[in-house]
Structure 1
């Protein structure tokens, strides 16, 4: 098997207390309707149709749909290597890369990866985060620099970009990925600033070397300080906060939870600012953020928005891929997916049953059968 190359960089994660099972976080109940596709930055292209409101909006929506950067051709993946599509549910892969303007894209990594599963009826949505340090099999890809290896999940993006990441997800889960939306660091800042900022409930640092009950100090750049509790953040601040992990006992699991919180905060800001209900604000928002994402060749923002018009915020459930905690594999610290990553059924039954539920569009049943994981 090919080992990872010199362009791959990653660090260890720390498991949450109590093991590495799925972590399920329900959205707040009783909130108003948030229309449109759920995902960091996805609302800027998918909710435009769902918002309604006149010819100008529809004209801008269709223009935006036509002008999207369609950077990924999933049809290039051989059909015989892909899982079968079993129903009309939507499985969207949301990738947040750490690429910044002015840097070489070949050095970018997948900092965030979430499978967004929307039920066939469009009434339920689930976001399943995949830890970037999850130790998994990365299938062979003749177009990739490296492949056919067991390594950290985000090595797939470093070696072969989005298409190898899709192949790795499909190999791991057996779930057919319908579409891909990628947003990089600059795009995320754009989205948050276009909304006038977001409010996040800042978790204070609790790792021994960083412990601070009053908040958390960034380890990046200007070393921003974020006071504990609800705090209004601009784009740069929000991005910096959701990248922190060393200051938390839960490590990367805390970071993933904060990224999930940011997705909800983006939804809340879009609603409170009237972006999805005011034609002028919506048009301005689309104009200022339409270049913030890349999508696959077949993604249709307008039709996706229409299909999800009836979705509510309390239909959104977040969780993290079931795992066995952290350990050492291949000489590096990783999140262990299974004793044998190429044969996970023997040692990670929770993950096996979750992916089966996603394939069969029965995720609600899976969540109900795992009440001990809810609310974490």
Structure 2
């Protein structure tokens, strides 16, 4: 079951339901997906069961909705400050060749970088057995709902940014219930847009490099994540692909279990505030930046994977520069 949201010509939100390969049907009784999720929590029933009892309305071609840029982010919060964007890095094994190379380095290096140490910790303790808690991953913050770009919208880099870098991943989508328990709706395609040049300059600038907009959707896949997800990431320029590469995700291709990554996010009471929405990015091993590609304003990112619905497409641009005097704090 795939869920999404669109905006009607009149400006209202419509929740859409579809099975992969079929049309997207409106759920006229649903105010928003957030409202449905909170209703399911209050009634203590699965979201899918609640939705199956709702009447279905007009049908739409999902690809046409994407071409017309009518998709909204599939889950939003009435107050964007209560939607949190975060993620974990160094979580993926990459290709078999890359994995073997990494393992070789782990055996050979005596003076390892912090990144290599973190990667090794994930390999050794990221998938604990029997419900135990594993090693904590690298974690970063990307902002709140004000940093969320709708599918089809532009990802806007600040003028001081040094790189327009896509990161094709899956994100977990969560709502926190009144009892502070996080509830997972499902998983969605995501672009964890980042500044890799800034990160490369000094690893302690990672926090700066991640404060960029992000996008996810257009559809959320309810239920568990398949263990082996194989997608494609492309960059289009003037409607022609300039770079294309497969990406692998899902637990088979990761050094951490999803449950371990979830635990180390929600173990903080700060992230268990009733009613909040969380979009958590699980990482990737595939970047055009690693292949020497320089993304330009106007390029389009396209991320797709079977079973996750319509491809996620976003253009990219750069915000106008601001004079330092305009943003300098003033004394009251």
TM-score in terms of structure 1 length: 0.26
Between Structure 1 and Structure 2, the one with more helix by share is: 1
TM-score in terms of structure 2 length: 0.28
